[in-house]
Amino acid sequence: MTAVDVIVLVAAILWILVVVAAVVVGIRVTLKLRARRRRLDRVLDLLRLSACYGLPPSRRSRVSSRRGPGSMNEMTKIIVSSVKMARAERRSPHWNG
C-alpha cells in the first residue's frame, strides 16, 4: 500500500466520521426542538383551557373546538384572562396557599 492510498483511506474514514457526527448532532437538535414545541403546546393548551373555564357554557364549545387562537390578539386576550383568573384565585379566601 502506497502513501497515497493510506492518505486516501484516512481521508475517507475521517469523512465518514464527520458525516456520522453531523447526523447525530442533527438528530439531537431535532429532538430538542420537538421537545420544546411540545412544552410550548402544553403551556398554550393550559392557557386555552383555563381561559375556557372563564367563558359562558355556550362559548366554551366554540373555543375548545378550535385548534388554537386565530390571531395574536386572541392569544393576548387568552393570556390576560388566565392571568386575571390566577390573581383572583390567589385573592379568594378559599385558597390554601
pLDDT bracket for residue 97 (50, 70, 90): very low
What pLDDT digit, counting tens, does each position of 9-23 carry? Answer: 999 999 999 999 999
| 48, containing H or E segment | helix 3-53
Burial call 35-52: b when 16+ CB within 10 Å, e when fewer:
eeeeeeeeeeeebbebbb
* Contact between residue 69 and residue 75 where contact means Cβ atoms under 8 Å apart: yes
* Residue that wins the pLDDT comparison between 89 and 41: 41
**SS3 for 63?**
helix
Minimal CA–CA distance to 68: which of 43, 86, 31, 87? 43
Average pLDDT over residues 49-66: 59
